[in-house]
Amino acid sequence: MPAELKKRDIFSGYFVDYYPMVFNAVVTKVSSQDDAEDICQEVFIALYNHLDGIQNVRAWLYGTLKNMVLKYYKEKYTGHENIENFMEDAALSFVNGFRDTRIVINGVLKDALSDEEERNLFELIALHKYSYSETARVLGLTKRKVEYSYKKIAAKITQLLRERGISNIEDLL
């Protein structure tokens, strides 16, 4: 197999394995999917160009994405004094297995909340801190029905998280 073809195969494997994780780490920092895609493109072009000299691809990708995000913010906010603080959360998410909790949580919630009433009930209690009584009043249900439904939803979410290998909150980090 020619060397260039072998290099493309190796790069393709790394791209498939790491792109979603790199993208998620970048998008959490730049809050723009388009900008994150551009940064990821730069990161992976650099990976391809330096592939022969890289020992630890994951560490290299993290360092490169960090530099690319810093470059992005320096260009966007010229003169920003504390640019390093923007990277702290991305560093943690990247080091702890690249898991993007938003994707996991959104997937579980999509699977767990089958209809509009369940979504509204869950949002009022879990996100907006409504009591069962307040939620019942808003949704026109009984307090008992709200309490039962919320516990049922919570159990379903817990089960779906376990099915995805998440048994405690630290698994999401």
Q: Which of 19-28, 48-57, 88-97, 113-122 has the lowest mean pLDDT?
A: 88-97
Angstrom CA distances, 11 to 16, 26, 40, 52, 99, stand at 9, 20, 14, 10, 21
Q: Which of 7-21, 78-92, 101-115, 128-142 has the lowest mean pLDDT?
A: 78-92
Provide the residue range defining the domain that includes 61: 3-95
Q: What is the CA radius of gyration of the chain?
A: 21
CATH of the domain at 139: 1.10.10
Q: What percent of the chain has pLDDT over 70?
A: 79
CATH of the domain at 26: 1.10.1740
- Asked whether residue 118 falls in the same domain as residue 152, the answer is yes
Residue that the structure tokens 């560093």 belong to = 91
Predicted TM-score (pTM) of this structure: 0.47
Q: What is the mean pLDDT of residues 133-137?
A: 91
Q: How is 26-49 classified by DSSP, letter by letter?
A: HHHHH--HHHHHHHHHHHHHHHHH
d(CA 56, CA 89): 21
Question: What is the CB-side half-sphere exposure of residue 137 using CA atoms within 13 A?
Answer: 5
The 10s digit of each residue's pLDDT in 25-62 is 888 788 778 888 999 999 999 999 998 888 888 889 88
- Asked whether residue 151 falls in the same domain as residue 81, the answer is no
d(CA 122, CA 29): 28
- Asked whether residue 80 falls in the same domain as residue 130, the answer is no
